[in-house]
Amino acid sequence: MIMYTPPNSELIRIVAQKNPDFIVDHTIRVVSIAEQLRNQLGGDQRILFPAAFLHDIEFYRGVKGHGKRGADLFRKIFDGRYSPEAIEQIAHCIEAHPVKYAPFPETIEAKCLRDGDRIDSIASFVPQRYLASFKKFGDEELAWQDCMKRIKGWYNSMVTDIGKERFLAIAKDMQNIFPQLTDLEL
């Protein structure tokens, strides 16, 4: 398999050119969390690394199908720099990572990325998710109901046992700050 390994600095530059700062920060964390899952579950780092770096390359708030669009953009940028097999393996990880409008993650690398993304969501994006819900409903209780629905959606889209365990442990820790997470009833 011909493998091109782009330096992390190149990958992060591509991400930064396309995304707002909070996605760049999120990306760096997902790279690290997905790699931790891979250490436990196995899988090829040369597939997972670029996939994790580029998974949200087409993420813009409110736009649907960023997994599929991100996979297509990856194919375009890296055409000829990986073998066709590696291109498709990486593209599959990117395409299969979102909660919605995504195929099931079939490979270990795609599973590590899907769950790594959810773990960072529960660890980092609850306040932001709540504020988005509050903006929509203008009512604290309705906002939390909506927010909790999203959080359950994150959890229900996870595919590995160790990923789910870690998600629940983080949610439990966060109950000190957000008691609403007690109602997670997962």
Residues near Fe ion (CB under 5 A) are 56, 117
Is 126 within 8 Å of 173 (Cβ atoms)?
no
How far apart are CB 148 and Fe ion at their closest, in Å?
A: 20
How far apart are CB 117 and Fe ion at their closest, in Å?
A: 4
How far apart are CB 138 and Fe ion at their closest, in Å?
A: 27
Is 19 within 8 Å of 57 (Cβ atoms)?
yes
Locate 163 and state its tokens: 């990923």
Q: First vs last Cα of the chain: how many Å apart?
A: 42
How far apart are CB 30 and Fe ion at their closest, in Å?
A: 6
DSSP string, 106-168: -SHHHHHHHHHHHHHHHHHSHHHHHHHHHHHH--HHHHHHHHHHHHHHHHHT---HHHHHHHH
How far apart are CB 175 and Fe ion at their closest, in Å?
A: 24
Locate 79 and state its tokens: 């055409």
For Fe ion, which is the closer residue by CB, 56 or 109?
Answer: 56
Total number of residues shown for the chain: 186
Centroid of chain to Cα 16: 16
